[in-house]
Chain A
Amino acid sequence: SQQGEEDPQALSIQEGENATMNCSYKTSINNLQWYRQNSGRGLVHLILIRSNEREKHSGRLRVTLDTSKKSSSLLITASRAADTASYFCATQIIQGAQKLVFGQGTRLTINP
């Protein structure tokens, strides 16, 4: 079964706007990771945030983690058409032996 729930399931915005995606999970984690998937392709790692971290930045990406609420958010600022993809959060659980359990994903469309 999936660990994470993401919302929204689909998001369509105009180029230049910011996009925010949310992820909730159920069990205690080592870390939470965000990945991007272009249609029909593998996954590309974006950011890893550890359970003792609250916020992390990478370029136009900002990830927050609230372990008390078991939730995370991914913010993409100044979106570009090339950001169009599906975005997945994945949790590495404490007893998980490094395996990742993925959320349902958010399909992001950036309209030019």
Chain B
Amino acid sequence: GAVVSQHPSRVICKSGTSVKIECRSLDFQATTMFWYRQFPKKSLMLMATSNEGSKATYEQGVEKDKFLINHASLTLSTLTVTSAHPEDSSFYICSASPGTYNSPLHFGNGTRLTVT
């Protein structure tokens, strides 16, 4: 089955620093990748949609200068949390779509970000 690798799985950083999270589709080309954020015992909140070679589309209320998304190739998208604050601490999950109509998304295992 389709595999999406997300790295790192856990990261602890200090306030004011930036953190980059990578999402790779290992055995398929992902025309579209999605980034979600999940608070403890809550649902997934879509942050942005990234298409290879174009600017990401951010959901309402998500700061694009805070959460930088790059989708430079058909197998890699990155999310950079800039100038991190403790309230950015969360579980971030990426997912990838091969672009086939009516097909499921393939999810990474998530990244637990803790900002101290």
Contacts and interface: CB of A to CB of B under 8 A. Distances in A.
A104 B43 contact: yes
Given A48-B104, A100-B105, A88 B110 contact: no
Interface residues of B, number: 28
B91 to A, nearest CB: 7
Contact of B43 (A45, A50, A103): A103
A12 B88 CA distance: 32
B107 A44 contact: yes
Nearest to B112: A40
B33 to A, nearest CB: 11
B74 to A, nearest CB: 15
Main secondary structure of the interface of A (DSSP, over half): strand
Interface in B6-62: 6, 32, 34, 36, 41-46, 49
Main secondary structure of the interface of B (DSSP, over half): strand
B104 A101 contact: no
A101 B46 contact: yes
Given A40-B91, A42-B93, A43-B93, A2 B105 contact: no
A41 B79 CA distance: 18
A29 to B, nearest CB: 11
A102 B43 contact: yes
A103 B6 CA distance: 23
A40 B102 CA distance: 27
A50 B110 contact: no
A98 B43 contact: no
B102 A97 contact: no
